[in-house]
Amino acid sequence: MLATSTIVEEILDLKKERRAVLLAHHYQDTEIQEIADVVGDSLELSRKAHDFDGDVIAFCGVWFMAETAKVLNPNRIVVVPDKDASCSLVESCPVEQVRAYKKLHPDHVVVSYINTSVDVKAESDILCTSSNAVAIVNSIPADQPVLFLPDINLGNYVKKQTGRENMKIWQGACIVHATFPARRLTKARMEHPEALVVAHPECPPDVLAMADYIGSTSALIKYCVNSGAGEFIVMTESGVSHSLLKFAPEKKFYFVKNENCNCSECPYMRLNTLEKLRDCLRDLRPRVEIAPDIMRRALVPIERMLAVK
């Protein structure tokens, strides 16, 4: 096996040769985040993918995020280190079921969380991420019924924040955030009574009810870094510890483990490794390829989202 430093050198050489940009989500392994050009949450990475210079986007995140980058960059090559880097939310929302719902409820405005397949995006009226979901739903006229998909916890959070009654919510869930048990958070609060609780809105309502702050991964990081407090219980994927420790090394962060894996890691995100990143830059595979008609239709709700401030 080659040493990490050798693989990193190979990646940096290939990056130059391919005129590639490396985008990494906060849930990637530390060694991937360290060499990325941009580390961010899904909204930030979509925006970065929108305006960069180069021929190849190496997207270190999950497949739906890379699909979004491809829709925004139809003439660039978009690769992902592992083709199986999916997402339980994407899997909970098959496009056939969305089409069937639309047929029964043609008056509903379909608001899709960015964690959906490109086929579902093509069926959607507007997209959102965890950082702009409330603003996106508020941008829809109050008398229009809404279908929010696919995350049940984010949907319920948005419904509460907007006070919107005419909003149906899909029953999908994130296998990482939805399985954080409130009783483990209660125990962590007893162990660290000075700590503030920050939580991603994909967490269950009983976890969100205990949070001092709720936001997207980047919003959580910014809150902890800028807060006057020195200790935090962080209810999201533990990959955020890379930026937290980089920008606030003097503070303490505690992660609550979920019940699936007794960890706080997304199994899909963690499929990407340095070796696979090197291979995808070398082979330009696995590559995101989308039919032109789907690309064209999926671009409309993405651009509508990007236009909402």
Q: Cα dihedral sign for 16, 21, 22, 26?
A: positive
205 or 230: CB nearest ligand SF4: 205
- What mask, x for binding ligand SF4 by CB under 6 A, covers residues 216 to 245? ---------------------x--------
Q: From the list ligand SF4, ligand 13P, none, which binds 88 (C-beta under 5 to 8 Å, kind-based)?
A: ligand SF4
For residues 68 and 162, give the distance between their C-alpha atoms in angstroms, rounded to a whole number: 26
Instruction: Based on the shown chain and the rule CB under 6 A, indicate whether residue 129 belongs to the binding site for ligand 13P.
Output: yes
139 or 166: CB nearest ligand 13P: 139
Q: Which stretch binds ligand SF4 (CB under 6 A): 16-24, 162-170, 175-183, 219-227?
A: 175-183
Instruction: Based on the shown chain and the rule CB under 6 A, indicate whether residue 68 belongs to the binding site for ligand 13P.
Output: no
- What mask, x for binding ligand SF4 by CB under 6 A, covers residues 35 to 64? ---------------------------x--
Q: With contact defined as beta carbons under 8 Å apart, do 113 and 121 qualify?
A: no
Backbone phi, psi, residue 29, to 5°: -60, 150
Q: From the list ligand SF4, ligand 13P, none, which binds 39 (C-beta under 5 to 8 Å, kind-based)?
A: none
- 224: closest CA among 242, 203, 256, 198? 198
Among positions 154, 235, 266, 280, the unique one binding ligand SF4 when judged by CB under 6 A: 266
CA geometry: angle 150, 151, 152, nearest 5 deg: 115
77 or 301: CB nearest ligand 13P: 301
Tokens 């303490």 belong to which residue? 252
What are the E-state strand segments in 61-206?
77-79, 109-113, 126-128, 146-149, 167-169, 196-199
Q: With contact defined as beta carbons under 8 Å apart, do 132 and 308 qualify?
A: yes
79 or 176: CB nearest ligand SF4: 176
Instruction: Based on the shown chain and the rule CB under 6 A, indicate whether residue 174 belongs to the binding site for ligand 13P.
Output: yes
Backbone phi, psi, residue 220, to 5°: -65, -45
175 or 244: CB nearest ligand SF4: 175
For residues 192 and 182, give the distance between their C-alpha atoms in angstroms, rounded to a whole number: 15
Instruction: Based on the shown chain and the rule CB under 6 A, indicate whether residue 175 belongs to the binding site for ligand SF4.
Output: yes
7 or 90: CB nearest ligand SF4: 90
Size of the site for ligand 13P (CB under 6 A): 10
The least CB distance from residue 77 to ligand 13P, in Å, is 23
Q: How many residues comprise the chain?
A: 309
Contacts of 41 (CB under 8 A, 6+ apart): 25, 26, 129, 130, 131, 216, 217, 218, 219
Among positions 268, 272, 274, 277, the unique one binding ligand SF4 when judged by CB under 6 A: 268
Q: With contact defined as beta carbons under 8 Å apart, do 20 and 56 qualify?
A: yes
* Alpha-carbon Rg for the chain in angstroms: 19
| Interface residue list for ligand SF4 (CB under 6 A) | 62, 87-89, 115, 174-177, 202, 237, 266, 268-269
